[in-house]
Structure 1
Amino acid sequence: MPLINTPNELETLVNRALDAPCVGIDTEFVWEQTYYPRLGIIQVGLSENDCHLIDAVTLSDLSPLGTLLSDPHTVKILHDAQQDLWILRRITDAIPCNIFDTRCAAGFAGLSSNLSLGNLLRMRLNIQLPKTETRTDWLRRPLSDKQLEYALDDVRFLPALREHILTDIQRRGRENWLAEELRQYDIAKLYDDRAPEEQYTRVKGTGRLSRRDMAIVRELAAWREKKARQVDRPRNRVISDDAIVQIARRKPQSIQSLKRVRGIARATINQYGNSLLNTVQRGLAIDEKNCPPISLPVRPDPFEDARLDLAMAFMRGQCLSEGIDIAMVASRSEVKEFISSQKNATDNPLHTGWRREFLGADLTALLTGKHAIGINPNTRLPNLLRDKP
């Protein structure tokens, strides 16, 4: 199959896709030596026998895809959608709309929300996808017939898979909950790059640093983020987390002292040494009250742990009984936060939307002593007793 590699061909495909009720979309990219992924192929599947490959290497203007991406009428089906949508948002500047994520939907249909597309197709449609081209360099040309078929298979069955899963969810009466969850993909800020000044929270190995050290880490992480974007290199290829932590500890004042910091390559010092020293000075100049807070060790609370274990047991029982993946509902840390915020509702997911309807309200009743928990003799699962004994 030839790749779509001219503006006219792309426009024709987009117009056809806009007339379809739903289309499958996927991307193939290379993301090893650069800050941003380099897009190689975009797959668009209108049906099992009507699939197309867009050559993202040859086509310099992919903005027509933005019309499809933001169209409120045509459903765009993706598996594990966020990364693909982030990439497509970058190249089209369009805000996605009307997205169906098969990975997310599986979590409302009695399946894990972490299944790969291959496993989901095998379990629901008895289709086995080949795994022979997982290490393909999608930027190289020409691509082999096997590589092209592999790419097409990633969208070929998405419309049928959506229909199958959606029918199951409708039978369970969960379509409104799924629709609410999928609306997250319509929010523009989901695709925004994180501010450089916030990147310090992702630096590993900062557990024993002081607030002053963390101020330097914040400045270094922000500098690294801006530089990585500028030169289009992975963050750790500019400077590693370990080097940032070591610099924050030692606070070098000269190139010679910088050379004594463990983990910094000589080439990095030659290229960025003065910038690193200036960044350290900015961190040292920050007023103490504006330095990042540090997390102090929290003493174990056996009473809170007991409440958390009770809440988790109830949540697991409800999820198993209703066929909803517990990972879709809340993490253990979110449940812990929910317990501690009973008297002061926050933006915790269990306080709002379908999660509150499914679990949050009952969990509140359990934790405030209005109801009790027992074992259902039929399901042998934890179950809420509406009338407390």
Structure 2
Amino acid sequence: MQSSSNPPPCPPAPAPSWIADPAELAGRLAYGPCRIGIDTEFIRERTYWPQLALVQIAHERDGGQEVLLVDTLAPGMAEALAPILADRSILKVMHSPSEDLVAFRHTCGVVPRPLFDTQLAAALAGIGGGMGYQRLVEQLTGVALAKGETRSDWLRRPLSPAQLEYAADDVRHLFEMHDVLEGMLGELGRGEWLEADAERVADMAEDSALERWPHLSMRSAGFLDLDAQRRLLRLLRWRDAHARDSDRPRTWILDNELAVAIARQPPADRDALQAQLEAHPKAPRKLGDAIWRALQEAADDESAVPDAGAAEKRDKNRLRQLQTAVATRSAELGLPDGVLASRRHLEHLMDRGEWPDALAGWRRELLEPVLAPLLTEAGAPPPPVDG
């Protein structure tokens, strides 16, 4: 007989259902669930866009939970998924879904809404910032999940039993976590914070525009003068557009190191550029004409290019004051470091004199009273007021 001090083991979870027929997917969810748990498996090693290989959907019916493993390689499956993802009467419970949303937009033509992001919810509830799914599951439910299939080939068929079980586990605990986190956020009065953050994440996935200032994310760009930064900007904008159109990774089109080298010491003519490409082992030699054109064509907004070297000129003492103010406000609210505002957001605020989109809404309402005095000290220009 089992000791009363040891609870009986939990019954095994029901086996997931493999769905390779679009009509079956529609039939399983025809009753109109009020919420579904979603995760995806995708591959992005050789492409610009994530290749959606599998969609896991948890739903509740007749007092139980069922997990559907949806084969997105099956003909017509993307079209069958689209109306489910677009249905705003169904809450989509997901964990850190930003890349999943991009995969859905590219494959199904729709970004799921409304969202409940369990990672964001955990941060706003004060549990921890940026927590992984497995860690959060264990903290909230006590269940320790296996980690064995994180780097699987999800495009192969058939998938192994271990892959199927791993994939199902990624959605099995979303509802339980949703219920706990929703309750915590309700008690704290932060449900609207999560809704706003989740909408912003979905908006970012919906936005198909390329990054406006891609050079800012490259540390080496900060060591270039402004003219060289403008040349680098032209190359990176061309590269990103070409990578997207050809569905290839950015660095396959033009390596970062080579782009910086060309921008730093621009070739005198087309032949000199080709010689530079021929001398570089990762150079796209066949794209010489396109690279030369990109290098010569100035953009209309180049006069507004932000200086990637601003970090060297930044008032570091002022930045520390801003960080301290944010840390103090975060502690008062019981929020993990980085949730209210990251260093990068504060640098944006200092360098450009404007509030970044990531600090809009409830974050700005909380931070502006404590940051505005620091930003206006010693003659620093105040950030402009929206509207």
Q: TM-score, structure 1 length as denominator?
A: 0.80
Change (3 A) 1:140 1:260: same
- Give the number of aligned pairs: 357
Which one is further off, 141-150 or 211-220? 211-220
Which one is further off, 52-61 or 171-180? 171-180
Distance 1:275 1:260 in 2: 14
How big is the shift at 1:157? 1.1
Which one is further off, 120-129 or 306-315? 306-315
Which one is further off, 60-69 or 231-240? 60-69
Distance 2:225 2:86 in 1: 46
Which one is further off, 246-255 or 105-114? 246-255
Q: Is the 8 A contact 1:108 1:178 kept in 2?
A: yes
Distance 1:57 1:195 in 2: 27
2:193 maps to which of 153, 177, 185: 177
Counterpart amino acid of residue 261 in structure 2: Q
Find the counterpart in structure 2 of residue 133 from structure 1: 149
Distance 1:204 1:367 in 2: 25
Change (3 A) 1:231 1:296: closer
SS where residue 18 of structure 2 aligns?
coil
Counterpart amino acid of residue 171 in structure 1: E
Counterpart amino acid of residue 25 in structure 1: I
How large is the RMSD of aligned CA atoms in angstroms? 3.3
Find the counterpart in structure 2 of residue 213 from structure 1: 228
Q: Is the 8 A contact 1:338 1:348 kept in 2?
A: no
Find the counterpart in structure 1 of residue 328 from structure 2: 314
Change (3 A) 1:325 1:209: same
SS where residue 29 of structure 1 aligns?
strand
SS where residue 166 of structure 1 aligns?
helix
Find the counterpart in structure 2 of residue 27 from structure 1: 40
Change (3 A) 1:148 1:300: closer
Q: Does 1:191 align with 2:202?
A: no
After superposition, the C-alpha distances for 1:239-294 in whole angstroms (9 at most, x for unaligned) are: 2011111112232223455324697337721x2223223333335xx799748453
SS where residue 166 of structure 2 aligns?
helix
Distance 2:188 2:242 in 1: 50
Counterpart amino acid of residue 323 in structure 1: G
SS where residue 15 of structure 1 aligns?
coil
SS where residue 218 of structure 1 aligns?
helix
Name the % identity: 29
Counterpart amino acid of residue 223 in structure 1: W
Structure 1: gaps spanning 5 or more residues? 370-389
Find the counterpart in structure 2 of residue 275 from structure 1: 290
Structure 2: gaps spanning 5 or more residues? 1-15, 378-387
Counterpart amino acid of residue 331 in structure 1: S
Distance 1:156 1:197 in 2: 39
Q: Is the 8 A contact 1:197 1:219 kept in 2?
A: no
Counterpart amino acid of residue 75 in structure 2: L
Find the counterpart in structure 2 of residue 11 from structure 1: 26
SS where residue 89 of structure 2 aligns?
coil
2:343 maps to which of 315, 327, 332: 332
Distance 1:120 1:275 in 2: 47
Distance 2:307 2:354 in 1: 25
Q: Does 1:109 align with 2:125?
A: yes
How big is the shift at 1:63? 2.3
How big is the shift at 1:305? 5.0
